Structure 1
């Protein structure tokens, strides 16, 4: 979604990661808002953008047009009835964008309320794509316009940063509320306790997957038996704790295989496996083909 930016741009590329990472410039307020169309979007009507990560949350809100993108290998279509929130670390690659008008909002996780952040981190889905009605679309549009005006005001005004942060939190509170309502429609058959435990596990998995590979590791951190954790997670999601761990590791391995030139041995070490052969066996079992073949088929 990005090309090279000027020196004063609030989002900057970071070259240290093997996959291109765009991070908030230290001189920014931790918030970046772009109004579509942008030249970089128009360039990619018929060809995919370069894959990249963000070190921050990113929201996509369209008033007109359609964007076809992939988030961690999953195809996603964004239009005026939908709203996409992507998480830090996920890989983006826009496939096509036509007649787009709308907004892209990026913001540092530390600026938003911790409770709201937990709602997203504990999500049972890795893609947060909301459906908006006309009233919600109007509300989002108005809030984004207020955030835009506030970002361009004189930054020496008293409480300027607090104003921007307050508007941002109001915007994200509404996103979280809609997200929770739509989630509740899908999970109403499960107990609140089971859902809370599964969400806590999902959040912990996101934070610890590179260092914790066993169900017992997560059960210990959640102060329960591995069997109870597994039974609960499986009842809510349909899959075991081991499966979720494998899928989280697999997703990061696939990113590194396709979007970097790291060797299989280097990828194994980055994912916490001292024995590359063991990693290759695990990848093959989860993906159905070897890391080498997966890389060849996707590059």
Structure 2
């Protein structure tokens, strides 16, 4: 693999939001060192909002990167490791002179139990704190993986070695994530956790008929601001964000797996005004419902 010019990915443009897909020649995994050679040739692409159809990890040995993940500002340095989920929107703000690694891999390459741990987390932002020992371990493992990826493709057991190194790395990420998640949960009162879980349960049951944060707050007998602060402190995202994401996910399912018209889907999701639903969907998905259905199918 030659990463000298640009990462082994291809860009699929869907409306204003570009989608970066893993190149078929990458075998579902890409690892490239920072700083990237000839970065200036495509730096403008990185600062535009874009998505990846795969997991993406950022690990720095030196320097700092500021970025936004689903509109949430994130700062990455050598004491942290960021793993973004497929479909999340990235927008790089600045990358001060830095040294490190960017790892991309398909979800199908990692253990299902680990994937469930990531995807079922209350937080949609997986940002780990690393101590010096963990930083050294990450650096060593990513270096070994980089060497394995650059071996001759005919080398015996090459693919097995790559798979083993990737899974070993992700298992360590998962272990640190679970430990820090447990620590984080202990930092919150039982009431905060219980309120967040009750909100999520109500959201699942009522999202298509109840889209105002204030209505959920009334049912939980708290103020709207208190509910929002509580949910955001536990999950990292506001009540409004959770509502919008739940509606968007169901709209996408109906567009892909049914033949309902856009008007019918809007009504089913609780929107009498189809034009408003179309604008809302476009803002969240980056393209219109019609284009999403056409491209996905």
Q: Taking structure 2 as the reference length, what is the TM-score of the superposition?
A: 0.66
Displacement, 1:216? 2.6
Displacement, 1:159? 2.3
What SS class does the counterpart of residue 165 from structure 2 fall into?
A: helix
Relative to structure 1, the CA distance from residue 121 to residue 190 in structure 2 (aligned partners, 3 Å threshold; closer, same or farther) is farther
Displacement, 1:280? 8.6
Partner of 1:215: 204
Q: 1:100 aligns with which of 98, 101, 105?
A: 98
Relative to structure 1, the CA distance from residue 153 to residue 280 in structure 2 (aligned partners, 3 Å threshold; closer, same or farther) is closer
Determine if the alignment matches structure 1 residue 34 to structure 2 residue 32: yes
Determine if the alignment matches structure 1 residue 185 to structure 2 residue 183: yes
Partner of 1:248: 245
Displacement, 1:281? 11
Q: Distance in 2 between matches of 1:26 and 1:45?
A: 23
Q: Distance in 1 between matches of 2:18 and 2:272?
A: 25
Relative to structure 1, the CA distance from residue 44 to residue 134 in structure 2 (aligned partners, 3 Å threshold; closer, same or farther) is farther
Q: Taking structure 1 as the reference length, what is the TM-score of the superposition?
A: 0.65
What SS class does the counterpart of residue 110 from structure 1 fall into?
A: helix
Relative to structure 1, the CA distance from residue 53 to residue 244 in structure 2 (aligned partners, 3 Å threshold; closer, same or farther) is closer
1:124-273 to structure 2, matched below 5 A, reads 124-188=122-186, 215-216=204-205, 238-239=230-231, 245-249=242-246
Aligned residues: 236
Partner of 1:49: 47
Q: Distance in 2 between matches of 1:47 and 1:150?
A: 29
Mapped contact 2:31–2:104 kept (Cα < 8 A): yes
Q: Distance in 2 between matches of 1:244 and 1:76?
A: 17
Determine if the alignment matches structure 1 residue 80 to structure 2 residue 69: no
Deviates more, 1:78-87 or 1:182-191: 182-191
Displacement, 1:275? 3.3
Alpha carbon RMSD of aligned pairs, Å? 4.1
Q: Distance in 2 between matches of 1:181 and 1:96?
A: 30
Mapped contact 1:45–1:96 kept (Cα < 8 A): no
Relative to structure 1, the CA distance from residue 107 to residue 54 in structure 2 (aligned partners, 3 Å threshold; closer, same or farther) is same
Q: Distance in 2 between matches of 1:275 and 1:215?
A: 22
What SS class does the counterpart of residue 96 from structure 2 fall into?
A: strand
What SS class does the counterpart of residue 139 from structure 2 fall into?
A: helix
Relative to structure 1, the CA distance from residue 89 to residue 17 in structure 2 (aligned partners, 3 Å threshold; closer, same or farther) is farther
Q: Distance in 1 between matches of 2:93 and 2:161?
A: 36
Relative to structure 1, the CA distance from residue 190 to residue 120 in structure 2 (aligned partners, 3 Å threshold; closer, same or farther) is farther
Displacement, 1:129? 0.9
Displacement, 1:96? 0.6
Q: 1:90 aligns with which of 71, 88, 91?
A: 88
Query: Structure 2: where are the runs of 5+ without partners?
Result: 208-215, 221-225, 233-238, 250-261, 282-297
